[in-house]
Amino acid sequence: MLQAKTVLFVCTGNTCRSFMAETIGRHYLKRWGREKYLLIRSAGTDTQAGRPASCFARMVMKKLGMELFEHQTTCLSPQLAEEADLILCMTQGHLARVRQYIPAGCDRIYSLKGYALGLNESTAGQTLDIPDPFGLSEESYRLCARELENYVPSALERFMEKLNLF
């Protein structure tokens, strides 16, 4: 039996972007019938453990028809980073932070947008950051969710193709 691989989404507080990415990822894996192959997790670089997801993040995910789960924030740790088979970060700052934890693991740490598009981080010529909606309007969360819906499924497909699972 094939052991599930772990995909870790990383943002700052683990209440908005990485939570929404995790929710979208779980949704698509279930839709594709591939949930037994990948374990989707999320964490924040600067957060306190045990906080709920943002109200707007939950509301937007629910309006998109995504199945919600009982989310509590998780702090990014060297152990969590080390256990992940693929780490997808929301910004270049998050990318640098994760690389501090596991410098030898750079071949599995990417920006979400860069990985989904198959771009090299250093030569992309465009910003690969996903803007943070924290503290902004519901519309900002909707725009963020729309952007995540463009990149999360593509990134998961790319990873599963690499593993010959899709």
Please answer whether residues 112 and 151 qualify as being in contact, where contact means their C-beta atoms are separated by less than 8 angstroms. Answer: yes
Return the residue matching tokens 């992309």.
124
Catalytic sites, residue numbers: 11, 17, 132
Model confidence pLDDT, tens digit, residues 33-92: 999 999 999 999 999 999 999 999 999 999 999 999 999 999 999 999 999 999 999 999
The angle formed by the CA atoms of residues 98, 36 and 62, to the nearest 5 degrees, is 75
Q: What is the pLDDT confidence band of residue 127, given thresholds at 50, 70 and 90?
A: confident
| Closest among 82, 116, 118, 75 to 102, alpha carbons compared | 82
Helix, coil or strand: residue 154:
helix
CB 116 within 8 A of CB 154: yes
Q: How confident is the model at residue 162 (pLDDT cuts 50, 70, 90)?
A: very high
Kindly list the structural domains of the chain, giving each domain's residue range(s) and its CATH number in brackets, ordered by start: 5-159 (3.40.50.2300)
